[in-house]
Structure 1
Amino acid sequence: DDAGGFSEEKFVANANHDQVRMIEIKLSQGAKPGHGGVLPAAKVSEEISITRGVPMGVDCVSPSRHSAFNTPVELLQFVARLRELSGGKPVGFKLAIGHPWEWFGIAKAMQETGLLPDFIVVDGAEGGTGAAPAEFIDHVGVPMHEALLLVHNTLVGLDLRDRIRIGAAGKVTSAFEIARTIALGADWCNAGRGFMFALGCIQSLSCHSDKCPTGIATQNPHRWRHLDATDKASRVHNYHENTLRALRDLLCAAGLNDPSELGPEHILRRVSPVEIRSLASLYRYLSPGELLRRVPDHAVFHDYWADARSDSFQPPARIQALRSSKSR
């Protein structure tokens, strides 16, 4: 609404359009986790103003947090609420993993309440946008492979993996990167960078300035008027089709019939001049239901699982005590 709160009326009006097939709650994104976003007033055209319901001539500020929930349990209750309001459409959330206890708190809330998202999208720290601060692009968030493994392992350990789909994103531009990401545990990949390149993006990092030199990320007619939409559409289409064709060829070469058959045993990595190991042997994969029986011998689970809480995103008392001792 005008005050920045959640509006059921506006949500229902948008969510029930036929072209809306699923709803994603963005907790954070890989390019700037925990930061939020700003669409400068100069870029708020009349069309954007109508579409987003924001006034022209004013910066459109997206906060770094949601106002509709404050705890992991409340997040899942919000997921269930949106599913009901949308008439049963799939609802999930996207997050860039930061503190492990925050994700573990959500996982424990799933276990305790039985409220599950239909999908989770893991956005890696590799995610990019020219509008993000350099410090966030380069240093904030967990890289996609490790974040994906953590989410996948947690759901497997709670016996929930077959009930929740996982998407993953983070510099996925080629067929091999799609194959590797699915082999690590994803059901599908999201990609933006490669399509931007196909459009002609040169990564000038000026998305926020309304001065994109290629005319892609600007509402300035003097900059976008030479953008040939027909030609660019063909380039994007060809990139998409050829990438999927290359993925098909990789699967055929491996003797597989479907991307879902990819596993960590299919990807080999050189770890020294004289040693090559599969991802299956490099990474610790939990067995189904393992978290329901014991805390696994996995460093992150060992350090943070027991202290994570479904009623709070705040750091465990142990972590807060360490911070307090440092500040003295």
Structure 2
Amino acid sequence: MFDLIQRAIIPIVAAVLALAALLAGWVWVALLLLAVVALGIYDFLQRDWTITRNFPVAGRIRWLFYRLRPYLRAYIVEDDLHGTPYSFEARNLVHARARGETDTHPFGTERDVDAEEYHWIGHSIAPEPDPDISPRVIVGNDQCARPYSASVLNISAMSFGALSANAVRALNLGAKKGNFYHDTGEGGLSPYHLEHGGDLVWELGSGYFGARDKDGRFDAGKFRDNAAHDAVRMTEIKLSQGAKPGHGGLLPAAKVTEEIARIRQVPAHQDCLSPRGHSAFSTPIQMMEFAARMRDLSDGKPVGLKLCIGQPHEPFAMIKAMLETGIYPDFIVVDGGEGGTGAAPLELSDWVGMPLTEGLVLMRNALVGAGIKDKVRLAASGKVYSGMGLAENIALGADWCNAARAFMLSVGCIQAQRCHLGTCPTGVTSQDPGRQRGLIPEVQGERAARFHAKTLEAMADIVAAAGFRHPQDLQPHHLMHRTGPEKAMPMDRIHTFLPEGILRDAPDDTIYADWWAAARADSFRPGIDLVPARAAAKNIPAEM
């Protein structure tokens, strides 16, 4: 009995105090206390929740602190460097640059330079006096009639629906002001993407939103009409994304408004799930033919592929299809497994998909090793938010980088992680007009452009310190990485970087011999039994 009294102490004390309040004539106080007593009786008798059945009212305090836990961690507990997915330092850097506040740091680095994750760019005694502070990359091979000059930092794929209308407006205005591109994501081309005239990359996923027939298949006529917009500068086939590769896109029902349903041509107020794979193609050769068709339908605008790298023989199958058909996409975007999204199964986010560094190196080796890197540009996306992130990825083989969450932070996101619930406190990912009113596109668009410019300036400082004018001069050996507290190595001694054409001329001399042998232009399935081939292999890559 004493144990029961201890566990029910809150409603018991409330009952005693309510009686005292009634005797003292404090009716309103008594009513409030009786409400606590009633809640305690309800908790004690209900059958759904063990904690409140055994600890009436008190168990609810535990629920309260669970709800407060993310905010307490963010504002009180976490240090500057170890918050996830973005640390306080990262968030504060983006916010400072977006607002035009100082982004300098006093008293030296706070990072542990002996930690295994520490890495740095080697500087030169002869720095470059005049670095390019707004470097560009020409996208478009000789099969493209309308090449595009891209910034080395752009907005990664985020759909209207995943983002609010005001967030899309702000990002596109930032792209217009800062002269960089804005990837639409797979959710279709909305009026908000077109409102300010910023450059767009129209992404087409397996749902073909904005270019689909009544059965959800690709509609060439609708695609041609939308791709004809002047603002659409390139198109992109989404094969997978880092946060949930192999799953397809997901927009929760709470965010599928009538307007979004109309743009995507799907039922309103139901989960909008893209299929796991494309219906327009099923083999590497068919993929290249579809890319060529999209390029033709868009009147020669560059076309690209976006994917998170998974099984290594599959990128090589794509390369073999390019070589066999003679069709070359204008660019490939590698999305790292650490990429973010508004809604994804936890296991897919945590454990499926190759992280960006490994995926970028593999795709770079596939293109260079096949001798076609001059035809196909390479972009990287995955937690890029700083000048160092740009410099690092470009040194590893990327021509440019895309960022999604960093640009969300630049227009007001505070990493509340309510994206999937439709209750974003800053209106960035909410479809609630009451929440969206807090985000003023004209103000936040300016901040997105400022973040972009300041980040490019920071990258230019790094490039100049290394002795170069353009970031494309950075190479893997300029990037050093710790392999232990007493040892560091350049990245070209940690990862393999293939020489030009070796996969085409002497694949057996590379660490990718078995993956290359397994790759087929006519199928994504391996062409050999990889188990005995891998068991007998002499050159098994340590990084895989």
TM-score of the aligned structures, taking structure 2 as reference length? 0.57
| Equivalent position of 1:51 in the other structure | 263
Partner residue of 2:288 out of 57, 67, 76: 76
Q: Which amino acid aligns with 2:380?
A: A
Let me know the Cα RMSD of the aligned residues: 1.9
Give the 3-state SS of the residue equivalent to 1:271 in structure 2: strand
Partner of 1:143: 355
1:130–1:203 contact (8 Å) kept in structure 2: no
1:201 equivalent to 2:410? Answer: no
My pick for the range that moved more, 186-195 or 49-58, is 49-58
**Match of 1:163, SS?**
coil
Task: Please name the residue that 2:476 is paired with.
Answer: 264
Partner of 1:222: 434
Q: Please list the CA deviations of residues 221-276 of structure 1 after superposition, one character each: whole Å capped at 9, or x if unmatched.
A: 22222233333223322211111111111111111111111111211112233322
Aligned pair partner of 1:247 in 459, 468, 481:
459
Correspondence 1:287 to 2:499: yes
Q: Which amino acid aligns with 1:190?
A: N
| 1:90/1:118 contact within 8 Å kept | yes
Counterpart of 2:286 in structure 1: which amino acid?
Answer: E
Q: Which amino acid aligns with 2:529?
A: R
Q: CA separation in 2, counterparts of 1:46 and 1:82?
A: 29
Instruction: Identify which range, 117-126 or 301-310, moves more after superposition.
Output: 301-310
Aligned counterparts of 2:406 and 2:314: Cα–Cα separation in 1: 31
Maintained 8 Å contact 2:480/2:490: yes
Alpha-carbon contact 1:95-1:123 (below 8 Å) kept: yes
What number of residue pairs does the alignment pair up?
Answer: 321
Counterpart of 1:32 (choices 229, 235, 244) is 244
- For 2:363 and 2:435, how far apart are their aligned partners in 1? 42
1:85 Cα shift?
1.0
Tell me the distance in 1 between the aligned counterparts of 2:438 and 2:426. 9
Find the counterpart in structure 1 of residue 395 from structure 2.
Answer: 183
Following superposition, the deviation at residue 317 of structure 1 comes to: 4.6
Whether the aligned pair in 1 keeps the contact of 2:395 and 2:478 (CA below 8 Å) is yes
Q: 2:304 aligns with which of 68, 85, 92?
A: 92
AA in 1 matched with 2:513: H
SS in 2 for 1:162: coil
For residues 300 and 228 of structure 2, the distance between their equivalents in structure 1, rounded to whole angstroms, comes to: 10
Deviating above 6 A after TM superposition, structure 1's stretches of 4 or more consecutive aligned residues are none
Structure 1 stretches of 5 or more lacking a match? 323-328
Report the CA distance shift for 1:320/1:36 in structure 2 as closer, same or farther (over 3 A).
farther
How far apart, CA to CA, are the structure 2 residues paired with 1:66 and 1:200?
A: 34
Cα 1:59–1:52 shift into 2, 3 Å: same
Alpha-carbon deviation of 1:213?
A: 2.4
Q: What is the deviation of 1:73?
A: 0.4
Task: Specify the SS of the correspondent of 1:122.
Answer: strand
Q: Distance in 1 between matches of 2:411 and 2:243?
A: 20
Q: Which residue of 2 aligns with 1:232?
A: 444
CA 1:160/1:222 → structure 2, altered by over 3 Å: closer, same or farther?
same
Describe the shift of the 1:37–1:29 C-alpha distance in structure 2 as closer, same or farther (beyond 3 A).
same
The CA deviation at 1:199 is 2.3
Task: Quote the offset at 1:319 in angstroms.
Answer: 4.4
Larger CA Rg, structure 1 vs 2: 2
Change in CA separation of 1:157 and 1:68 when aligned onto 2, cut-off 3 Å: same
1: CA distance between counterparts of 2:321 and 2:531? 21
- Could you tell me the TM-score, scaled by structure 1's length? 0.92
Task: Go from structure 1 to structure 2 and tell me whether the alpha carbon gap of 1:296 and 1:182 turns closer, same or farther (over 3 Å shift).
Answer: farther
Task: For residues 157-204 of structure 1, give each alpha carbon's deviation from its aligned partner in whole angstroms, at most 9, with x where no partner exists.
Answer: 111011110001111111001001000000000111211122232333
Q: Which moved more, 1:127-136 or 1:82-91?
A: 127-136
Structure 2: give runs of 5+ residues left out of the alignment. Answer: 1-212, 534-544
Q: Higher mean Cα deviation, 61-70 or 179-188?
A: 61-70
State percent identity of aligned pairs: 51
Partners of 2:322 and 2:439 in 1: CA distance: 47
The equivalent of 1:326 in structure 2 is none
Q: CA deviation at 1:316?
A: 4.0
1:74 to 1:286, Cα distance in 2 relative to 1, 3 A: same
Report if aligned partners of 2:217, 2:280 keep a CA contact under 8 Å in 1.
yes
